Structure 1
Amino acid sequence: MDTFTPAQSTNRQALCRLDEIPDGGATAVDARLLDGEESLILLRQGDEVRGYLNICPHAGRRLDYAPGKFLLKGDTLTCCVHGATFNQADGLCIGGPCRGEHLRTVAVQVEAGVVKLAQ
């Protein structure tokens, strides 16, 4: 499983406030990573947030059906284009055309109610 790291900077990039992500929900944000500007998926469960690149490993398309709107059911995230289904906890594709592949993880952390890229 690949993990992307933030661009070099002295301060970690703030992505959004924790309360901007519905508990049990997701949002999309743009971030500066080593490969340039990327769309990220932020998935929230309570005070914990997981980050992934907003790119399906099957066809390289965004997973959201509208900007920041995702198909979530239980503990899974489904790509709106070809129906690939991913575990939210680890990004593993458990159904669809890219079964066995992973979403690319982006390390994030929550500090004082703000979701930031981890260093």
Structure 2
Amino acid sequence: MSERLLCALDDIADGGSRGFPAAPGGFIGLFAVRRGEAVFVYVNSCPHVGLPLEMQPHRFLDEAGERIICAAHGATFRVEDGLCMAGPCEGEGLEVVPVRIEAGHVYVPAKAGL
């Protein structure tokens, strides 16, 4: 599987999130949430109507930093697997992007977000 570098691990604050625009030729951006040395990456599209999740750059988490939140509909998602816990898409999930971390860098499949 061909991969691309998403960012350095340190580009995402521990306990925070960060958005990434679509890859060249892509249509949908990605976002990442960091928990220590773990990074969870998802396609930036709410399963309810396909809108990007954030209204402000890099703001994907609720006030407590515990759940991913859709700014348009208020749906909340678990960080660990993207499952919608409440809102109009309850029981559905965000599109998970496989992640590989090596030498302080975060890699995703080259086709992620296409």
Fold in common (TM above 0.5): yes
Report the residue type matching 1:55 in the other structure.
S
Aligned to 2:48: 58
Query: Are the aligned partners of 1:109 and 1:118 in contact in 2 as well (CA < 8 Å)?
Result: no
Any unmatched runs of 5+ in structure 2?
Answer: none
Any unmatched runs of 5+ in structure 1?
Answer: 1-7
Sequence identity percentage: 44
Aligned to 1:85: 76
The one of 21, 25, 28 aligned to 2:12? 21
SS of 1:43's equivalent?
A: strand
Establish whether residue 45 from structure 1 lines up as the match of residue 35 from structure 2.
Answer: yes
Aligned to 2:107: 116
SS of 2:28's equivalent?
A: strand
Distance 2:101 2:109 in 1: 9
Query: Are the aligned partners of 1:71 and 1:80 in contact in 2 as well (CA < 8 Å)?
Result: no
Distance 2:73 2:109 in 1: 31
User: Quick check: which one's strand share is greater?
Assistant: 1
- Once the two structures are TM-superposed, the CA of residue 32 in structure 1 deviates from its matched residue by 3.7
Distance 2:97 2:76 in 1: 19
Distance 2:19 2:105 in 1: 15
Aligned to 2:92: 101
Aligned pairs, how many?
Answer: 109
RMSD of aligned residue pairs (Cα, Å): 2.1
Q: TM-score, normalised by structure 1?
A: 0.81
Report the residue type matching 2:19 in the other structure.
A
Query: Are the aligned partners of 2:48 and 2:88 in contact in 1 as well (CA < 8 Å)?
Result: yes
